[in-house]
Amino acid sequence: MDPTTGQTPPLRDLIERVRCAADAGHPLYIRGGNSKDFYGGPPAGEPLDTCRLRGITSYEPSELVVTALAGTPLAELEALLAGKGQCLPFEPPRLGAVPAGTAGGMVAAGLAGPARASVGSVRDYVLGATLINGRGEVLRFGGQVMKNVAGYDVSRILAGSLGVLGVIAEVSLKVLPLPPAQATLEFPCSQAEALRMLNEWGGQPLPLNASCWMSSESTGSGNGTLYVRLRGAGAAVESACARLGGERSGETAAQAIWDACRDHHLPLLARRDGTDLWRVSVPQAAPVLMPDTAPIVEWHGAQRWYRLPAGQAQRVREAAHAAGGHATLFAAADPATPTPRFDALSAPLERIHRALKREFDPRGIFNPGRLYADL
């Protein structure tokens, strides 16, 4: 580490690469473990690898805060937390046959797993971040405690930004203890019945943590199974099990279901058959959107996955908008498709996005086209 700047050789190398790229106007494609290259627009520019920025720089179990360099493998971070009986409650997806996600990529992608609707999103757990901006400057935002609000919102903006604002070098995250008890219940039902039950339960004092409905047929009108995970104090979980009924899953089988859901190993999510995978975000109380298509329904009805042939963007987005939501082309069968991955921004949001981009990356060198075609 440089005693005058406090910078390690890997960080200094990244800063120099960014400064050279900015001077030359050459774009850079930021990548960590490459587990989410498919997400967003196609990669463009010269690869800028963050994997050398690796390691846990601070961990205070009693304070429920961990700080990690961007290239730290997600598996390494979660193993450290588990050893102290703690976790990342938003359950970031561990994508790929051999999970290779990193702490920086987790924040940049902003993806969360089955518990998202109950515990919050990635940005809700970001306390602080260190960023290399488009001028090659090292900026630090937020801190390591929830009370430190200076720059707190800026660090949260990085969640889901897909690297278009800069290179995330380090992140501080709030963590939580592992739940003392949990149980998974199964309910054979149609999609409409599942949504009805979830809406009914959502207004009751139940320790609902995650839900997932999967169809057993090729159309959304067919029957399937609703899986509901309860988490919390042992007495609360057992009381909810008795109240809700259903069939209780064995611990091993239940864990396999939630891992497959979290890591996109369920057949509909993992399939590679020339179709597009769409993620639709709608209010939890939204009805069945496309009755002729079988989705996976998560987040108590708020997240719905559809596997569709190419060319269905207008249909999916119209259905999402009609329900008060939006649609994302999560994984395109053809990475070169001109179909926008994300819904168009409203005029006020677009102005904010452009202002942030100009401030953090004035030469437009970071991940061009990854989030939006001209941002």
State whether 216 and 100 are in the same domain: no
Structure tokens at 131: 């960023």
Task: Tell me what the pLDDT averaged over the chain comes to.
Answer: 93
> What is the CB-side half-sphere exposure of residue 263 using CA atoms within 13 A?
17
Whichever domain contains 43, its CATH number is 3.30.465.10
Task: Determine, yes or no, domain membership for 207.
Answer: yes
Under 8 Å between Cβ of 127 and 174: yes
State whether 259 and 202 are in the same domain: yes
State whether 285 and 230 are in the same domain: yes
pLDDT score for 150: 47
- Count of structural domains, the chain: 2
pLDDT score for 152: 43
Q: Whole-angstrom Cα distance, residue 330 to residue 342?
A: 8
State whether 15 and 155 are in the same domain: yes
Q: For residue 17, what is the enclosing H or E element? A: helix 9-24
Task: Determine, yes or no, domain membership for 201.
Answer: yes
Q: Whole-angstrom Cα distance, residue 255 to residue 330?
A: 25
Task: Determine, yes or no, domain membership for 114.
Answer: yes
Please provide residue 282's backbone torsions phi and psi, each rounded to the nearest 5 degrees: -140, 165
Which three-class secondary structure state does DSSP give residue 39?
coil
**Parent domain of 151:** 9-178+354-360
Task: Determine, yes or no, domain membership for 340.
Answer: no
State whether 23 and 120 are in the same domain: yes
State whether 188 and 159 are in the same domain: no
Instruction: Specify which residues 128 forms β-bridges with.
Output: 142, 172
State whether 187 and 291 are in the same domain: yes
Q: Whole-angstrom Cα distance, residue 347 to residue 295?
A: 31
Instruction: Specify which residues 327 forms β-bridges with.
Output: 280
Q: For residue 238, what is the enclosing H or E element? A: helix 234-244
**What is the amino acid identity at position 123?**
R
State whether 147 and 192 are in the same domain: no
Q: Whole-angstrom Cα distance, residue 258 to residue 307?
A: 20
Structure tokens at 102: 């990193």
pLDDT tens per residue, range 221-277: 579 999 999 999 999 999 999 999 999 999 999 999 999 999 999 999 998 899 999
Q: Whole-angstrom Cα distance, residue 333 to residue 109?
A: 19
| Residue numbers in the chain where pLDDT is lower than 50 | 146-152
Instruction: Find the distance separating the first CA and the last CA of the chain, reported in whole Å.
Output: 34
Task: Determine, yes or no, domain membership for 368.
Answer: no
pLDDT score for 97: 74
State whether 40 and 136 are in the same domain: yes
Q: Whole-angstrom Cα distance, residue 167 to residue 14?
A: 9
Task: Determine, yes or no, domain membership for 337.
Answer: no
State whether 286 and 204 are in the same domain: yes
Q: Whole-angstrom Cα distance, residue 182 to residue 257?
A: 14
Task: Determine, yes or no, domain membership for 212.
Answer: yes
Dihedral sign (CA 264, 265, 267, 272) = positive
State whether 193 and 173 are in the same domain: no
CB atoms within 10 A of CB 43: 18
pLDDT tens per residue, range 40-87: 999 889 999 999 999 999 999 999 999 999 999 999 999 999 999 999
Tokens 């899953």, residue located? 249
Task: Determine, yes or no, domain membership for 346.
Answer: no
pTM: 0.93
DSSP code at position 53: S
State whether 156 and 210 are in the same domain: no
